[in-house]
Amino acid sequence: MSDNRTLIIQLKDFAGQQVTLSGWVYQARSSGKVQFIILRDGSGLCQCVVEKGKIPDDVFDKLEHLGQESSLTITGLVRAEPRSVGGFELAATNAQVIHATTDYPITPKEHGVDFLLKHRHLHLRSQRQWCIGKIRHTVIDAIRRFFNDNGFTLVDTPILMSAAGEEEQSLFEVDYFGSTLFLTQTGQLHLECAAAAFGKVYCFGPTFRAEKSKTRRHLTEFWMVEPEVAFIDLPGLLELAENFVSNIVSRVLQDNKPQLETLGADIAGLENIKPPFYRLTYTQAVEILRGEKTVKFMAEQLTQLSRQKETIEKRITELDTEQAGQIKQWKRDKNAAELIALRSDLDEINIKIENNPKHAKLAAEFQWGKDLGGSDETIISTMHDKPVFVTHYPREAKAFYMKTDRDNVKVVQNFDMLAPKGFGEIIGGSVREDDHDMLLKRIDEMGLKRENYDWYLDLRKYGSVPHGGFGLGVERTVAWLTGESHIRQCIPFPRMMDKVYI
Ligand code: 4AD
Ligand code: MG
């Protein structure tokens, strides 16, 4: 079977030739004499035209009764057809059913998020999940290539940890032969050791946070890439981060345009993502949040949301009327799919409308010293068309390892990168405290156990140098690039605080 199999993605090289495709029925419709089977083979979609008389009669009959997601091989002539999905069609001359499926549970009709997550083992085959998966693949490949091509050495840091690398409240405990270890929250502390050995390093792996957050930005298991560099300062880190993110975006634009189009992603917006990104200090961000600009901005947002709501409601009424009448099955299914999308958009808009006054109030009353909240990040990031660096946060709001700014000891030399148009933080990073006594003081102030950090403090005893790094969350990055509103759609098998499905 594997010998003469052609992939759908290769069809452009086979126009006018006979090929055999292997795959699954994605959609099928029949008009009696001719059947249209949209085949899915993992590399793409292809419409196969099955005409009575051009294929053995018994095969024609078998195909007519195939359910969605049946598997088969199908042979035929490749012809260019610009109106067809993928631009090519197969005029079938023969086929072999491998496994006939009936009652595939995910139909083109309406399914809630919960149903689809419960059926994730099957839902991964959907076009949306496929497009996101392809883009995630490119993002990860671009990440590795960027660091490998720029003199970084990959260092694998452990997953089982003896102490916290970020806030202690979000540690997952593991019973380790009677003693307690934790799942890693960050590879950073071990990576700092490696930076003193190799200069420029990165780690990339699964990361765990027992955060009691059910937001669209939080998973309990996510993938994070972390570079760490010896002899670097804050401007150097920002430059590295903006080159890195621009590189990921341009790779996705280069490799995944069709997928971005299918997902309805903001391609023009992504084409604009080039250095330099915007730079704000935390103090400037707070001034914006408390100022007139935000008041006006939030009011405009509300007007815009209300307009969008009206348009969507009008379209829903139109479709509901159509559905109540006599229409063809394929049209009914198409409408049903549009209704699902519209209702989910409407839910989101309603939440935004409800939250708008609350978020405006939180912003207006923001007190210098607190960490920026999710809604504050959303406001700042919605105001910008490119990513924004927010730097120099208050020391009290941030992790023990961040370097105190020597010119203003109230702040640290850190940054968050906020993705534009409301997506919020995708990177957190900092210069590290490299003075032994200052670091020890921070460990004490935060109530952490000194003995857990002996080895980490040693780095400040033996050839301490200015150094720093950052962490980028893969799922948040994919959500931003694809325009997915919830990051649970951006990892194949999501783990969330309130639910783990399969
Ligand atoms: O800002 P964070 O917590 O930074 C660190 O862990 C540093 N130690 C990184 C470093 O300097 N080496 O996390 C970094 C990024 C966030 O910006 C976000 O993209 C992602 O990791 N992230 C999450 N993604 C999904 N779900 C969660 N619960 C996440 N928590 C952080
Ligand atoms: Mg952070």
Classify residue 106: in a domain, yes or no. Answer: no
Residue 2's pLDDT band (boundaries 50, 70, 90)?
Answer: low
Identify whether 146 is part of a domain: yes
Q: Within 10 Å of residue 413's Cβ, how many Cβ atoms?
A: 23
Q: Is the CB of 427 under 6 A from ligand 1?
A: yes
Do 123 and 26 share a domain, yes or no? no
- Identify the nearest ligand to the CA of 419 by its number: 1
Task: State the Cα–Cα distance between residues 18 and 16, nearest whole angstrom.
Answer: 7
In a shared domain, residues 237 and 125: yes
Dist. CA 270–CA 145, nearest whole Å: 20
Nearest ligand to residue 374 Cα: 2
Mean pLDDT in residue range 297-318: 96
Confidence band, pLDDT 50/70/90 cuts, at residue 149 = very high
- When the pLDDT of each residue in the chain is averaged and rounded to a whole number, the result is 95
Per-residue pLDDT at 421: 85
Q: pLDDT band for 165, please (50, 70, 90 cuts).
A: confident
CA distance 5 to 75: 10
335, 225: one domain: no
Decide if 88 contacts 16 (C-beta within 8 A): no
140 and 474 Cβ atoms separated by less than 8 Å: yes
Distance 471 CA to ligand 1 centre (A): 6
Rounded-to-integer distance, Cα 398 and Cα 213, Å: 18
Residue 141 neighbours by CB distance under 10 Å: 13
Distance 313 CA to ligand 1 centre (A): 37
- Residue 384 in 3-state DSSP? coil
What is the model's pLDDT at position 267? 98
Which of 358, 448, 369, 368 is closest to 401 using CA atoms? 448
Strand, coil or helix: what is 404? strand
In a domain, 163, yes or no: yes
Residues 216 and 323 in one domain: no
The model carries a pTM of: 0.95
Ranges of H-type helices in 402-500: 436-445, 454-458, 474-482
Using a 6 Å cutoff on CB, does residue 226 contact ligand 1?
Answer: yes
Specify the pLDDT at position 5. Answer: 85
**Ligand 1 pocket member 476 (CB < 6 A):** yes
1: pLDDT strictly greater than 70: no
In a 10 Å sphere around its CB, with 0-12 CB exposed, 13-18 middle and 19+ buried, how is residue 126 labelled? middle
Answer whether 219 contacts ligand 1 (Cβ < 6 A): yes
Instruction: Give the number of the atom of ligand 1 that is nearest the alpha carbon of residue 487.
Output: 25
Say if ligand 1 is within 6 A of residue 426 CB: yes
Q: Is 414 in the pocket of ligand 1 (CB under 6 A)?
A: no
Ligand 2 centroid vs 148 CA: distance in angstroms? 25
Q: In 3-state terms, what secondary structure has residue 172?
A: coil
Ligand 1 near 262 CB (within 6 A) = no
Domain limits for position 333: 291-363
Q: Answer whether 441's CB lies under 8 Å from 400's CB.
A: no
**Which ligand minimizes its atom distance to the CA of 223?**
1
Pair 263, 242: CB distance under 8 Å: no
Are 401 and 286 in a shared domain?
A: yes
Hey, which of 476, 490, 491, 495 would you mutate to test ligand 1's pocket, going by the most ligand atoms within 8 Å of its Cβ?
Answer: 476
Quote the pLDDT of residue 74.
98
Of 339, 299, 311, 341, the residue nearest 483 (C-alpha): 341
Give the number of other Cβ atoms within 10 Å of residue 65's Cβ: 12
Q: For atom 11 of ligand 1, which residue has the closest CA?
A: 470
| 282 and 295, same domain (yes or no) | no
Last residue of a domain, which of 41, 65, 99? Answer: 99
Burial classification of residue 407, based on how many CB atoms lie within 10 Å of its CB (0-12 exposed, 13-18 middle, 19 or more buried): exposed
What distance in angstroms lies between residue 411's CA and the mean position of ligand 1's atoms?
20
123 and 65 co-located in one domain: no
pLDDT, tens digit (0-9, with 9 covering 90-100), for 308-317: 999 999 999 9
pLDDT tens by residue, 237-281: 999 999 999 999 999 999 999 999 999 999 999 999 999 999 999
147 and 253, same domain (yes or no): yes
Q: Is residue 322 part of a domain?
A: yes
pLDDT value of position 164: 86
Query: For residue 102, is pLDDT > 60?
Result: yes
Nearest ligand 1 atom, CA 429: 11
Boundary (domain end) residue, out of 34, 67, 99: 99
For residue 331, the model assigns a pLDDT of 86
- The phi-psi region of residue 264 (left if phi > 0; otherwise alpha if psi is between -120 and 50; otherwise beta) is left
| One domain, residues 284 and 321 | no
Q: How far is the CA of 187 from the centre of ligand 2 (A)?
A: 14
**Dist. CA 194–CA 155, nearest whole Å:** 7
User: Does residue 499 fall inside a structural domain?
Assistant: no
Question: Residue 225 C-alpha to ligand 1 middle, in angstroms?
Answer: 9
Residue 501 lies in a domain: no
428 within domain boundaries: yes
Query: Residue 468 CA: which ligand is closest?
Result: 1
Domain boundary residue, one of 99, 134, 155: 99
* Residues 64, 92: Cα–Cα separation, whole Å: 13
Answer positive or negative: Cα dihedral of 489, 494, 500, 502. Answer: positive
Residue 412 is given by DSSP the state B
Residue 498 in any domain: the answer is no
Q: Is the backbone peptide bond immediately before 276 cis, with ω within 30 degrees of 0?
A: yes
Whose C-alpha lies nearest to ligand 1, atom 6? 186
Is residue 239 located within the same domain as residue 286? yes
Two tokens, residue 482: 């694809």
**One domain, residues 160 and 286:** yes
Does the beta carbon of 420 sit less than 6 angstroms from any atom of ligand 1? no
In whole angstroms, what is the distance from residue 375 CA to residue 400 CA? Answer: 25
CATH number where 171 lies = 3.30.930.10
How confident is the model over 393-420, as pLDDT tens digits? 999 999 999 999 999 999 999 999 999 9
| Residue 89 and residue 202 in one domain | no
Q: Please give the average per-residue pLDDT across 70-98, as a whole number.
A: 96
Asked which of 242-251, 293-302, 343-352 is least confident by mean pLDDT, the reply is: 343-352
Per the structure, the count of domains in the chain is 3
Residue 299 CA to ligand 1 centre (angstroms): 31
Residues 6+ apart with CB under 8 A from 75: 18, 19, 20, 21, 92, 93, 94, 95
Residue 214 has pLDDT above 80, yes or no: yes
